[in-house]
Amino acid sequence: MKKLLLGLPLIAASAGFYATPYYTAHQMQQAAQANDSTKLNSYIDYSAVKQSLKASLNSSISQSLLKNKTDSGMNAFATMFAAAFVNPLIDVLVTPENLSLMLQANMPKDLQSAQDSNNKSDTSKAEEEVITHKYYQDFDHFVVDVAHHSAPDKPFSFTFSRQGLLGWKLTGLAIPNFEHESLK
């Protein structure tokens, strides 16, 4: 009985420790939906997010261009041009306001209006539109994948990194590799 009483706090502490990134992701989404930019900013490392998004976009563009088998040297030029265009664009676009808008988009408009009108059928329909998968990548990294139901294999990935023992910050954002018709 004493072992059980001693083990119970350890189990509770372990469960709480395990749940911290889930709680952070939830708090971040709540802050975005409430347009609380101060709270939202406390959960985001903007310089790290910008760097990861630049890497993700440049990789996506390179992969799309390399799929084109008629390489006449223009693909390498296009990749360099894209990087020169994408990097400053991300610096301008990744702002607290824009990230807040993007995180609000995680909650479909149908779901938001359904909550306002308390219409259960609209809520279940809207919840089916977005597929969310949350998991530990490793001890210090937690990933939230968000995908539309029509493209579940192409998620947007939000990577959180451990800050101290219990804190987490958004440090990475990766976009899926979408093929554009003009690049085929």
State the CB neighbour count (10 A cutoff) for residue 3.
Answer: 7
Task: Examine the pLDDT at 144 and tell me if it is beyond 90.
Answer: yes
Say if residues 61 and 86 touch (Cβ distance below 8 Å): yes
What is the rounded average pLDDT for all residues in the chain?
Answer: 79
User: Which pLDDT score is estimated for 138?
Assistant: 95
Give the start-to-end residue ranges of the domains of the chain: 21-177
Cross-strand partners of 131: 147
Q: Find where tokens 């998968």 sit.
A: 133
List Cα–Cα distances, 28 to 25, 41, 51, in angstroms.
5, 9, 20
Residue pLDDT, tens place only, 43-99: 999 999 999 999 888 888 777 767 765 556 676 777 777 778 888 888 888 887 787
